[in-house]
Amino acid sequence: MLLPLSYANFEPEEGWCLAAPEADSNRDPCPSDEQCRALVERILASPELRRATRLRGFLTYVVDRKLAGRPEEITETLIGHRVFGRSPTYNAGEDSIVRTEARTLRQRLERYFSGAGASEPVILEIPRGGYVPVFRPRAAVAPSQAAPSAPTGTRVHLTRRQCIAIGAPALALAGAAAWRGIRSANSAGTAAGVSPTRLPGEVQLESSDPRLTAAFLRSKQRALSCVYTGDPVGDWYATSPAGRSTVFCMRDVAHQSIGAAVLGLNRHTANMLRRFAQAIASSRDFCSYWMITKDGFPDPATYNDDTDFGYSLPANFDILRACYREFLWTGDTSYLNETFSGFYDRTVVNYVQAWDRDHDGIMKNSIRPRVTASYHQEGPRFLTGADLIAGQYAGYLTYAAFEEVKGKPGSLSRRVAQEYRNRAAGLRARFNTEWWDPRQNRFCAGTFPDRSFSRDSVPDCNTYVLWFGIPEDGPKTDATFNNLQAAPPQSPGALSHLPELLYRYGRRQQAHDLLLEIADPEFFGQHVSETAFAVVGAVATGLMGIAPDAPNSKLETLPCLPESLPWARLSRVPALKNEITVAHRGLVETTFTNSAGPLIEWKAAFPVPQSGRDARILVDGVPAAVSFEQRANRQTVIAAVVPVEPGKTRTAKYSA
């Protein structure tokens, strides 16, 4: 039984509508998406909005969400956060910015359509009572004049006043029917393996350590406060939280993208990576733009012209790796298109040649004063930083991986892939031989213009050396970690890489402790957004060991819980074309749920001690076929591949 609703308290959702069952053949056809977008471009270029930056962002956002089929994202709170930079949890009742700007935007639209747009065949309105835009042919009856009953076969967006005129009980009945239809459609879609539709930031962590749970939530909220939609550059996230930044940076995005994937921000990441890829230019020796503004231009603080710009040479390789990680996480084939492939090709060929003028195979900078041959931008100034040669090594391996995807066995792409794997192996051998200082038991941080090695400790360089994976397994990797533990990086960006690295190399308790430190509100790097994204990413890919392989519809989990953390559960994780939940109990049990999306090949992996060759994995109580693999720094894992159908949950247990 439906209870009657109070007229005074009834507030329809933005975009809520009634639908009648039959079509009206005499009704004007709805404008196409192309017509709508062309109209918005003309409005944005008009005198009414040309210089009104905030109104332009407002209109662009609501139209983008409308045409993308995401009206649920057109709410006062989300507009305040995404367009006007308010906190994700701001109180819209106390802050009227969205309502005030909406009133002004409606007035400007009315002025446009009565003036310069008087001959427009399509009219755009934002009916009062909500923020979902409505496009209609000019000949159609305006929504504010429409009769309460909907013409058959049409979808009419109703204002609050119209809802009251129709009557709340009738709306309640219609709303209940609509809700039943939505639930049925969602259930059918999930059962059929249809990819889920979701909002960013729905991922949730539960754990036996309330400090970790709170740290993840704080970091998620901080990261989401950096996310923007509706600016001229497109979807993006900033270098600093809470509206303190109007730019995004190559090094930051390459690292932020891991946490962004966990938060469901793949569209934002793809847009920023594409911007960097498009900007690579021979006039800058195949550098991109180090930072790009929300308006889509190079940041004037780091770019004057193509002869005078700031840059860090490892960046191209870091962006290349970020593209591959996104490809694995999402399966988005646009990362194989001409724009991205051109960036990959130019990075490993033209970029390397431009900065390797003595042709010894290693990049260096002695020609551009504002370009650094390292991510370490303070003194001393290096000819080549250790992290640059490490980035070049990782870039070659990533390029080879992309070529493997593109080609079949025996193809040119496969031969190119092998060539770049060989080049990477050569760089790694040289680095571990020539750059190792046995007296100080560490890698040299860089070379000076006279080709001598720097013997000083530069923790930032050593951090990125591990990040790019160039140290050989064993004592040199262990010594590098030990040195960083004794003298950690001084920049928050470099330090925020360490939890992921510590998890990757099996130093679980250190990773856990540092993760809590970085997420603490008193941490000295709270002013940069990278630290927030890093915590989210480290929990998913480090602690929970989530590693998607979207092109092959596979996903691996590897528990990395320290002894101080008995259990952890990460739910509503967007990966592949799915939404998943992963729960670990210690290092011996994992439960995996394919909440939505198609079938997944789940690779349940567990760390194995050196004496564990007799180990086995039970899947739902039944012994499974297993394989043993070597991971970073000679760690051994045991794994079983388990198919998980949509809506199903499977449990794997490690048994020695």
Q: Which residue has the higher pLDDT, 92 or 507?
A: 507
For 298-307, the pLDDT digits (tens) are 999 999 999 9
Cis-peptide, bond into residue 380, ω within 30° of zero: yes
Of the given ranges (131-135, 536-540, 587-591), which has the lowest mean pLDDT? 131-135
Q: What is the DSSP letter of 263?
A: T
Q: Where are the alpha helices (DSSP H) in 331-385?
A: 338-346, 352-354
Q: What is the residue type of 20? A: A
Backbone angles phi, psi at 87, to 5 degrees: -60, 150
Instruction: Report all structural domains of the chain as residue ranges with CATH numbers, in order of start.
Output: 17-191 (no CATH), 209-330 (no CATH), 551-655 (2.60.40.1180)
Amino acid sitting at position 571: S
Q: What does the pLDDT read at residue 142?
A: 43
| Identity of residue 155 | R
What is the pLDDT averaged over residues 497-509?
Answer: 96
Predicted confidence at residue 460, as pLDDT, reads 93
Average pLDDT over residues 509-534: 95
Pick the residue with more confidence: 572 or 189?
A: 572
Comparing 130-139, 323-332, 352-361, the range with the smallest average pLDDT is 130-139
For 365-402, what is the HEC assignment?
Answer: CCCCCCEECCCCCCCCCCCEEHHHHHHHHHHHHHHHHH
Is residue 638 within 8 A of residue 617, CB to CB? The reply is yes
Evaluate whether 31 touches 67 at the Cβ level (below 8 Å).
no
Write the burial class of residue 611 (CB in 10 Å: 0-12 exposed, 13-18 middle, 19+ buried): exposed
- Inter-residue contact 253 to 273 (CB < 8 Å): yes
Residue with tokens 């760089």: 427
Return the higher-pLDDT residue of 533 and 103. 533
Phi-psi region of 620 (alpha: psi -120 to 50; beta: other; left: phi over 0): left
Specify the DSSP class assigned to residue 540. I
- Span 158-169, average pLDDT: 34
Across 9-32, average pLDDT:
42
Going by pLDDT thresholds of 50, 70 and 90, the confidence category of residue 196 is low
Looking at residue 67, its pLDDT comes to 87
10/40: higher pLDDT: 40
Q: Is the pLDDT of residue 611 over 80?
A: no
The amino acid present at 614, given as its one-letter code, is D
pLDDT for 177 equals 36
pLDDT, tens only, 142-158 = 444 433 333 333 333 33
Report pLDDT for 141.
41
Mean pLDDT computed over 102-126: 91
Residue 3 has pLDDT above 60, yes or no: no
Q: Per residue in 441-494, pLDDT tens?
A: 999 999 999 999 998 999 999 999 999 999 999 999 999 999 999 999 989 999
Q: Kindly tell me if the per-residue pLDDT of 346 is higher than 90.
A: yes
Assess whether pLDDT exceeds 60 at residue 513. yes
